[in-house]
Amino acid sequence: MSSLSMFPSPPPVGFTSVCEVNGELVAAKLGEEGVIQAQYCGQVGEFPSLHFPPDSIRASREESSAKAAFLPHDETVWKRAKEAWYEHGLGAVLSELVTSRAEVPGWLGWSSSAGLAVVRWLGSLHGSLFPHLALSNEDMIATFAENADWYHSAIRAFSWHPHIHKFAIALRDNSIKVYSRTSKIVPLLKHKVQKGVAALSWEPQSASVLAVGCQNCVLIWHVDPMSLSSRPSTTTCQVLSRPGHSPITCLAWSPHGKLLASASPADTAMMIWSVSTETGVPLRRVGGGGVSLLKWSPDGNKLFAATPSSLLRVWETETWTCERWTNLAGRCQSSCWSPDGAVLLFTVADEPVIYSITFPRDADVVTSVKAGSKSAVVCVDLSQVTLEVEEEVLNVGGSVHSMVWDPTGERLAVLFTADPEKGTTSQLIALFRTRLHPVLEIMPCGFIRGEPGVSPELISFQENFESGALLAVCWSNGKLSFIPLMFVPSDDVNRIPRNGFGNGTVFTGQMFSQQ
C-alpha cells in the first residue's frame, strides 16, 4: 500500500514546484519559476499569471441583518411573506407573520405563533442529530465548500471548461471572471443574487453556459465567447431556485450537458435541473441530513452523492435508484472518479486514508451500480510523517480536504487539512502516479510546494490538456499558478528503454494493487 513515507523530499524553503518532467517534479528558486518552466516545457497552457491579493478584494457584507431597516414602507405583509418563503422557507414565513401580527387577522397571527414554536422545536430536535443545520448560511458554505479557507480566500471557486481553453474564477467580492487563452477580453459577471458563491461548473456541451452555486439559488450565465463586451448583461442569466434548497455548495453537470445536479447540506433532496426548461426534480432519500458533495461519473451512468453524516450514495442515472454505503468513520470529505467511471476514490473527514469502490466496466447502466463492490477498500495510507528538509522540519499528512484525478487517469493530487494541534502543515500537495489497467495501481510521485508560508486552497486539473496533465493551484496569497505535468502514458511504459526516461530516472517504489 502506498504511503507518504515513500515520497521523495519536498523542495526546500525558497523553491517552488514548477513542473514535472521525466517522471520527476522540478522546482525553481523564487523569481525564476517562469524561466525554468519555459526551459523544460515551453509555453505550456499560455494562460496569464494571476494574482489577487486578499487585502485588495473586499468581502461583500451580508445584508440580511439590515434588510428590515431598508424595506419599502408600502411593501405589504403578503409580499414580505412571499419573499421570506423563497429566501428561507416556512420558518421565515411564520416569523414574518408573527412579527407583523398587527397587519394580519388575529387567528392567523395566533396560528402562526403556534406553528413557529413547532417549527423551532422540530428544528432543534433535527439539529441535535445533524449539528451542521445550526450553522449560519456562511458558516455552512465555509464548512462544505471545496475551498480549504473559503472565508479568507481571495479566489473562492475555480472551474476549467471541459473542452475549451478557458476557466472561470469566483472572487471574494462575489464577482466572477472568465479567462480564455484565445481572447484578451475578460468578462466580469455580477448579479444582485450572486452572493456566497461556493461552486462553479461549465456545461460540457456548450462554450458559453456557466452554472454558479450561490447562497440562495443557482445562476446560469450565458457568456458569449464571441462577444466584445466585458460586462455581460444580467438578462443573459437564468435563476434556478427551490424553497429550502440553499445554500448551494456543490454543482455537477451530466457529461452530455442536458442535466445539472445541485446540492445543499441543509436539504435532504438533491435537485436535478433541466436548464433549458428551468424545471427541477428533487431526489430525496431518508437519512444523511442533507447532500454535501456531488460527482457525476465521466461515463454519465453514475452520480455520487455524499451527506454531512456517515452515509454516501451512488445513483444510477437511468431509473434513478441508488446504493448506500454506511457506517463510515465520519462524513465524506472529498471524492473523484476515474476517467472510465469504474473506480471511485473518496476520503473521510479526520481519517488519513483514501478509500476506493470499484464498479464493473462492462455492465449496463442499471446493473453497474448494484454490481459495485459492497465495501470500500483502503488503497492509500496518508498517516502523518515528519520530513526534514535541510534545516526545516515538516509534519505532512493526516486528514484530506480535497483531491482531484486528472482526465488521463495518470495523476492524483491530494490537498491536506492543516491541524494546528497535531502540527501538520497544509503547504504541500501530495502528487501520486496512478494506473487503472489491468488493476488500480497508486504510487508516489512527489510533493508540490509554493512560496514560503503560502498554502494551496483549491486544486483542479484541466480536462483537455494534450501533453500530460495541467494542474491549476489557487494559493492563500491570492496567486493562481499552473503546473504542467509532462509524462509518458503508462500504456506506453513497456516500450520505453529499461535505462529510464531520457535524462531522468524511473521510480521503482512499491505500487498498490487491489488484487
23 shares a domain with 121? no
CA 145, CA 140: separation in Å to the nearest integer?
8
Domain extent at residue 406 = 1-46+382-494
In a shared domain, residues 30 and 88:
no
Query: Which pLDDT does position 510 carry in this prediction?
Result: 34
Determine the pLDDT at residue 227.
82
Name residue, grid cell 406553528: 115
**Same domain assignment for residues 450 and 408:** yes
Residue 465 lies in a domain: yes
Query: Is the CB of residue 409 less than 8 Å from the CB of residue 436?
Result: yes
Give the pLDDT score at 221: 97
Q: What is the pLDDT of residue 60?
A: 60
CA 481 from centroid of its chain's CA atoms? 18
Q: CB–CB of 242/86 below 8 Å? A: no
Determine the 3-state secondary structure of 380 from DSSP.
Answer: strand
Q: How many domains does the chain have?
A: 2
Same-domain pairing of 389 and 448? yes
Amino acid sitting at position 387: L
For residues 489 and 425, state if they share a domain: yes
Strand partners, 312: 306, 325
Per-residue pLDDT at 82: 78
68 grid coordinates: 428590515
Residue 264 in domain: no
For 214-234, give one letter per residue: b (16+ CB within 10 A) or e: bbbbbbbbbbebeeeeeebee
**What is the full DSSP assignment across 181-243?**
TTBS---EE--TT--S--EEEE-TT-SSEEEEE-SS-EEEEE--TT---SS--GGGEEEE--T
pLDDT value of position 89: 66
430 domain-assigned? yes
442 shares a domain with 387: yes
Residue 487 is predicted with a pLDDT of 84
Whether 112 maps to a domain, the answer reads yes
The answer to whether residues 273 and 240 touch, using CB atoms and an 8 Å cutoff, is yes
C-alpha cell at 38: 519555459
Q: Let me know how many helices (H) and strands (E) the chain has, helices first.
A: 7, 34
CA dist 300 and 296 (Å) reads 6
Give the separation between CA 200 and CA 159, rounded to whole angstroms.
6
In a domain, 294, yes or no: no
Task: Cell 494541534: give the residue.
Answer: 421
Collapsing DSSP to helix, strand or coil, 105 comes out as coil
pLDDT computed for residue 485 by the predictor: 93
* 485 in a structural domain: yes
- Contact predicate 289/329, CB 8 Å: no
pLDDT at position 74 is 57
For residue 438, whether the previous peptide bond is cis, meaning omega lies within 30 degrees of 0, is yes
Question: Does some domain include residue 287?
Answer: no
- Residue 486 to residue 474: CA distance in whole angstroms: 20
Q: What pLDDT does residue 76 have?
A: 82
Residue 302 domain-assigned? no
How far is 267 from 449, CA to CA, in rounded Å?
Answer: 37
Which residues fall within 8 angstroms of residue 259, CB to CB, at 6 or more apart? 253, 272, 273, 274
Other C-beta atoms lying within 10 Å of the C-beta of residue 396: 20
Rounded distance between C-alpha atoms, residue 409 and residue 437, angstroms: 10
Residue 152's alpha-carbon distances to 121, 149, 155, 192, in angstroms, are 34, 6, 9, 22
Cβ atoms 496, 431 nearer than 8 A: no
Tens digit of pLDDT at every position of the chain (515 positions): 889 999 999 999 999 999 999 889 999 998 888 888 877 776 555 677 799 988 877 766 544 443 444 444 457 877 877 777 666 667 677 777 777 777 878 888 788 878 767 765 565 445 446 677 777 889 999 999 999 999 999 999 999 999 999 999 999 999 999 999 888 899 999 999 999 999 999 999 999 999 999 999 999 999 988 887 888 888 889 999 998 898 999 999 999 999 999 999 988 899 999 999 999 999 988 878 899 999 999 999 999 999 999 899 999 999 999 999 988 888 999 999 999 999 999 999 989 999 999 998 776 666 667 667 778 899 999 999 998 888 888 899 999 999 999 999 999 999 999 887 777 778 999 999 999 988 899 999 999 999 999 999 999 999 988 888 999 999 999 999 999 999 876 665 555 554 443 333 333 333 333 33
Strand pairing partners for 356?
A: 345, 377
Coil/strand/helix, residue 491: helix
Same domain, 401 and 480: yes
